[in-house]
Amino acid sequence: MQIAKTNAIKKGVIRFCIGAAASLGIFAVFLLTQKQNPISVYMAIIHCFVNNRYNVGEIWVHMTPILITGMAALIPSKVGLCNCGGEGQLIAGALAANVVGVYCCSGMPGYLGIPIMMVAAVAAGMLCGAIPLIGKMCLNMNETLTTLLMNYIVVKIVAFLVYGPIKDPNGNNYPMSAKLAEQLRITSFTGSRGNWTIFVAVIIAIVVWIVFNKTELGFKMKVVGGNGRAAQFAGYKVKKIQCISFLVASGLAGLAGGFFMSSVEIQVRETTGSGYGFMGFLATGIVGDNPLLSIVSSFMLSALKACGATLEVNTGLRSAASMILMSVILLVIFALGRRKRDE
């Protein structure tokens, strides 16, 4: 069993490397059609991060939400549910953190205010996850579709709020909420927007790995996800385990939103947090739901996301080009096949 497991991880890593190499090749062809020299573009991508504190910090900025929402997709998938709603849960968390921060905690010191904001963010994420979860448990509604629809609903709610009720009265009529008070912001590393929340994200991923691989609870959860009926015969409370996992996951996505708001965004906009949830879902999807490999994959995706803007300045490629590279990598890794479960 142990050997099989290391083999599987080894295979995953090999697949990941081949995939990355193949997609760089495909993207090179695309670059040639755009009259760009692939080698100089790839050098430009690497150059983004050499001796550039700000750009390296941008990796951590993107990686925190991507990794945490990745976990929010991974935990339910282990218990046989599908959470595509990380996007909406993250945005709801960001919104809640801002609203609570601006309207309740503006006078509080940071050590008190920030935790309260994070609790609000977690609660908002959970609320957002609870609606599809109730649908799933009571009516057996397809949670993939309901969580996807929830994403759009949350985005519309945010749009409504920033154009109306929470619009900053001193904000020159821009559709943005008020900024968080100075002491409620998570301080960045010097010279960049990166901050300590990245450590929390990595620790969460490691804890998730430990839970699934070293604890009885994790074993139970995998049994529930693997074979619900066997789990029932074994006397596990299948629905309870599923519900708690889903709520914890959506709470985590909310927390990611809270972190993002307090450290990077500061104020709510229409586009706050958009794209991170989907990216997180894919970051874990391409590594076959392995928490530790997710750290690597989300690092890679974040680095590509971070270099988009610099790439546009240095090579003249539109920033969507880095999105194309990301999507090619994702598809190639899918094409190489998922790790067989019985191996």
Partner 1 sequence: MMSLIGDFILNTIRSGTPIIYALIGDLIGQRAGHISLSVEGSMLMGCCLGYTTCYYTGNLPLAVIVSILGGALIGFLQAHLNIACGANMFALALALNYFATSVTTYFGSSMISKSIKGFSKIAIPGLCKIPLIGNALFNQDILTYISFILPVLAYFVLYKTKLGLAVRSCGEVHQVAVAYGFDVKKLKYGAVIVAGMLAAVGGCQLSCAYTMTWTAEMSGGRGFIASALVILCCWKPLRAYFAAYLFGAAQALGILFQLMGLPIPTNIVNMAPYVITLIALAITAINKTPMMPEELKKIGRPLEIMN
Residues at the contact surface with partner 1, assessed by CB under 8 A: 4-5, 8, 78, 80-82, 84, 135, 139-142, 144-146, 148-153, 156-157, 159-160, 163-164, 222-223, 225-228, 230, 278-279, 281-282, 285-286, 289, 318, 320-321, 323-324, 326-328, 330-331, 334-338, 340-342
Phi-psi region of 273 (alpha: psi -120 to 50; beta: other; left: phi over 0): left
Judged by CB, which is closer to partner 1: 42, or 278?
278
Q: What's the token pair of residue 274? A: 């958009």
The least distance separating partner 1 from the CB of residue 173, rounded to whole angstroms, comes to: 16
Q: What are phi and psi of 10, to 5 degrees?
A: -60, -45
The least distance separating partner 1 from the CB of residue 38, rounded to whole angstroms, comes to: 16
Which residue, 327, 315, 278, is CA-closest to 84? 278
Judged by CB, which is closer to partner 1: 85, or 93?
85
109: how many CB neighbours lie within 10 A of its CB? 10
The least distance separating partner 1 from the CB of residue 81, rounded to whole angstroms, comes to: 8
Residues 6+ apart with CB under 8 A from 166: 98, 99, 102, 177, 178, 268
How far from 85 is each of 54, 58, 267, 323, CA to CA, in Å? Answer: 30, 24, 22, 21
Judged by CB, which is closer to partner 1: 180, or 304?
304
Run of H or E including 14 = helix 2-33
Judged by CB, which is closer to partner 1: 122, or 321?
321
Judged by CB, which is closer to partner 1: 146, or 263?
146
The least distance separating partner 1 from the CB of residue 14, rounded to whole angstroms, comes to: 16
The least distance separating partner 1 from the CB of residue 311, rounded to whole angstroms, comes to: 12
Cα separation, 204 vs 71, whole angstroms: 8
Residue 125 · residue 253 · CB < 8 Å:
yes
Judged by CB, which is closer to partner 1: 14, or 104?
14
Judged by CB, which is closer to partner 1: 265, or 289?
289
Q: Hey, is 292 helix, strand or coil?
A: helix
The least distance separating partner 1 from the CB of residue 28, rounded to whole angstroms, comes to: 16
Cα separation, 296 vs 284, whole angstroms: 10
The least distance separating partner 1 from the CB of residue 190, rounded to whole angstroms, comes to: 33
